[in-house]
Structure 1
Amino acid sequence: MFDRKNIKRYYLIFVRQIRNFLLSTKSREFLIFLFFVFVSLCFWFLQTMNDTYQTEFKIPVRLKNVPKEVVMTSELPKEIRVKVEDRGTVLLNYMLGRTFFPLTFDFEDYQEKGSYVRIPQEEVLKKITTQLNNSTQLLSVYPDTLDFIYSKGVAKKVPVAVGGEVSAGRQYYVSEIRVIPDSVVVYAPQGVLNTVLTAYTQPFHWTNVTDTLRKHLNLQKLHGVKFVPSSVDVMACVDMYSEKTFDVPVVGISFPQGKVLRTFPSKVQVTCQVGLKNFKSVKASDFLVGVSYADVLDNKSEKLTLTLRRYPDAATHIRINPLSVDYLIEQQTVEKVVKKEEVAE
């Protein structure tokens, strides 16, 4: 281990070596060379900075004295971009030593102009040029016009609609799409407020969803309109498909009195896909497979093609087997018809 004496000795040796190096002939020549290089760079920099350049600056924008009862539905931009031209030394002063003050506008100066206020470009340019040197040339301002829209407490509640698409993965289906909250408060001037009927989320496209998915989305912006809240949660609920088969009787529809449709077979198999959530609730009685009397009259084949007349919303990809059946029209006697009516009574 090093003690204090050794540390001091090594330090003195190191300092002596550095001093000898700096005092040597080669070292002095190198330092003189570096000095002249530095002086040349300074002259070159000063000469370069005297040339004319263009650059862009950002200046903050502020609106003061806004009353508490006023709701800003379209605010001023937070900053504007200013493109100027001047000598490099002046532009360097802007960048390093000088900070632009915010462009401040007083709300009270524009109350008489209504709920839609447009600040004249001349007023914006005047506030900018007061902060520039006389030699600085103002080339462009973006945005070149400033405006804001406000509402004095006029509001209403509108529903939120989904502005995108959700597609489920294989063997899954989208059972429900929820929006939380399902409605928002909208503020706007009266003329604009009457035209806003629905708030839409930002567009989205979710694919191959196999589990409940929840995301936070902003609402689509409308000029002069403010939504509170400005964002919502969108939840896509998915369920798995399961196949189910029923024996459903074939029914004749709109047959005249005394005529009865007989089909062979009298029942057909109806196969469908049902989500697990609704698997138990879907029954055979929810389906109606039938043939109308008009279809029988128009039929020129030996078999009747069956039609699915009714089915539950929860059932999809429905198939009928067989799709066509043999048939005959049975003519009943008046006595049978009367007996059936009596039994029905």
Structure 2
Amino acid sequence: MLRKPRFKRTSVKTFSFFLIFSAIVWVLVQFSKTYTQLIEIPVNYVNTPLDKSISDERPDHVDLQLQDNGFNIYYYKFFNPQLKIDLSKARETENELVYSLQNHLTEIEQQLKIDFENSRIIQNEIVVPFQFKKEKMLKVIPNIEVNYAVGYSSDDPVKLTPDSVKVSGPEKIIDSMLSVPTKTIKLNKVNTDLDGNVAIDTSGLGALSFYDNSVKYTQKVEKFTEGSVEIAVEVINVPEDLNLAYFPKTIVVYYQVNLKNFENVSPADFRLVCDYKNINEGDDYMIAQLVEKPGFIHNIRLNERRIQFVIKR
């Protein structure tokens, strides 16, 4: 009986090794050769002028005729590097931005890491259509919460500089806006003058271009003290034939005031009023309202608001 010949396992391993080695050598040889290939390089536009909106029909790539070894060519094919086009360096015509590729070859070489000695970009320039955006000044609204340290406050609101910013964008968005807020910040235990910068809140406003992205905020903070005055209650609009008795006759008004203005506060600067017309049927009290006060006092409170009354027959 004849036996089938057996291949030695070592022979199979040796054959496989030389086969793989030969394939690797062949690939290295092929990739080491110089080829000429046309490759599309995607472009990314940056630094678009703020008063312009570039068209969606803008070119999305440039054609690069690359003469190089296979390794580099396949790098560009598979990793697809982008070319940044700085539109602030483009020439402006009536409705187009023209970027000269030939005038910026050094920058392009650095970005794409190629040598234009044996390669070239087919186009001489990129032409980008644009439309002018509408411009408008928007009021900036401070979104700043200030909590003062004990004994401190301010007579003035938080001031923004500038208080308005220029924006540009699509007309339908610009026309619907009057103001824009700052980012929210919260300042606690403040006992010194405010002086800082806060960013403008551009959330959801990606279609707009802001000429300023932040503003300065300031406020003079000073030492304050608490004062109080006792003010007589005045009842108005009482019918002439009505004999009205009410209690209390006076109310204590507490307030905070800048130390430098403490001596300037006088009871004559205040007026407390109860309006008989505002009484609801069945009520036996009136609500006191502070209708006059100095403009430089803050955090006002009354020790009593309800004024009890009876009608004498």
TM range (shorter): 0.5 to 0.7
Question: Any stretches of 5+ residues in structure 1 without a counterpart?
Answer: 1-49, 51-58, 76-89, 95-99, 114-130, 133-147, 332-345
Question: Any stretches of 5+ residues in structure 2 without a counterpart?
Answer: 1-27, 29-41, 56-70, 76-80, 97-111, 114-127
Closer, same or farther in 2 for the Cα pair 1:250/1:279, shift >3 Å?
A: same
1:320 pairs with 2:300 = no
Q: Which residue of 2 aligns with 1:168?
A: 148
> Does the CA-based 8 Å contact 1:151-1:187 persist in structure 2?
no
Mapped to 1, the partners of 2:291 and 2:277 lie a distance apart of 17
Closer, same or farther in 2 for the Cα pair 1:316/1:198, shift >3 Å?
A: same
The structure that is helix-richer by fraction is 1
CA-CA distance at 1:309 after TM superposition: 4.5
> Does the CA-based 8 Å contact 1:74-1:225 persist in structure 2?
no
Q: Which residue of 2 aligns with 1:227?
A: 210
> Does the CA-based 8 Å contact 1:73-1:151 persist in structure 2?
yes
Q: Which residue of 1 aligns with 2:224?
A: 241
Within the candidate set 258, 279, 283, 2:241 is matched to 258
Residue correspondence of structure 1 range 16-95 to structure 2 within 5 A: 61-62=44-45, 71-72=51-52
1:290 pairs with 2:274 = yes
Mapped to 2, the partners of 1:254 and 1:274 lie a distance apart of 33
1:208 pairs with 2:186 = no
- Amino acid of the residue matched to residue 250 of structure 1? V
Q: Which residue of 1 aligns with 2:159?
A: 178
Q: Which residue of 1 aligns with 2:253?
A: 270
Mapped to 2, the partners of 1:306 and 1:192 lie a distance apart of 47
Closer, same or farther in 2 for the Cα pair 1:105/1:71, shift >3 Å?
A: same
CA-CA distance at 1:210 after TM superposition: 1.6
Return the index of the structure with the highest Cα Rg. Answer: 1
Mapped to 1, the partners of 2:166 and 2:261 lie a distance apart of 35
Closer, same or farther in 2 for the Cα pair 1:201/1:255, shift >3 Å?
A: same
- Amino acid of the residue matched to residue 195 of structure 2? R
Closer, same or farther in 2 for the Cα pair 1:279/1:149, shift >3 Å?
A: farther
Closer, same or farther in 2 for the Cα pair 1:295/1:62, shift >3 Å?
A: closer
Closer, same or farther in 2 for the Cα pair 1:240/1:153, shift >3 Å?
A: same
> Does the CA-based 8 Å contact 2:231-2:270 persist in structure 1?
no
TM-score (norm 2): 0.52
Task: Work out the number of aligned pairs and report it.
Answer: 224
Closer, same or farther in 2 for the Cα pair 1:298/1:274, shift >3 Å?
A: farther
Secondary structure in structure 2 of the residue aligned to 1:298? coil
> Does the CA-based 8 Å contact 1:213-1:235 persist in structure 2?
yes
CA-CA distance at 1:154 after TM superposition: 2.7
Mapped to 2, the partners of 1:151 and 1:281 lie a distance apart of 60
CA-CA distance at 1:266 after TM superposition: 3.6
CA-CA distance at 1:194 after TM superposition: 1.6
Closer, same or farther in 2 for the Cα pair 1:245/1:155, shift >3 Å?
A: same
- Amino acid of the residue matched to residue 286 of structure 1? F
CA-CA distance at 1:209 after TM superposition: 1.4
Q: Which residue of 1 aligns with 2:136?
A: 156
CA-CA distance at 1:191 after TM superposition: 2.5
- Amino acid of the residue matched to residue 261 of structure 1? L
CA-CA distance at 1:255 after TM superposition: 1.0
Closer, same or farther in 2 for the Cα pair 1:101/1:149, shift >3 Å?
A: closer
Mapped to 1, the partners of 2:130 and 2:148 lie a distance apart of 42
Mapped to 2, the partners of 1:150 and 1:201 lie a distance apart of 30
Q: Which residue of 1 aligns with 2:78?
A: none
> For residues 239-286 of structure 1, what are the alpha-carbon distances to aligned partners after superposition, in whole Å with 9 as ceiling and x for unaligned?
443222223112223211133534466434333333447646654343
CA-CA distance at 1:203 after TM superposition: 2.6
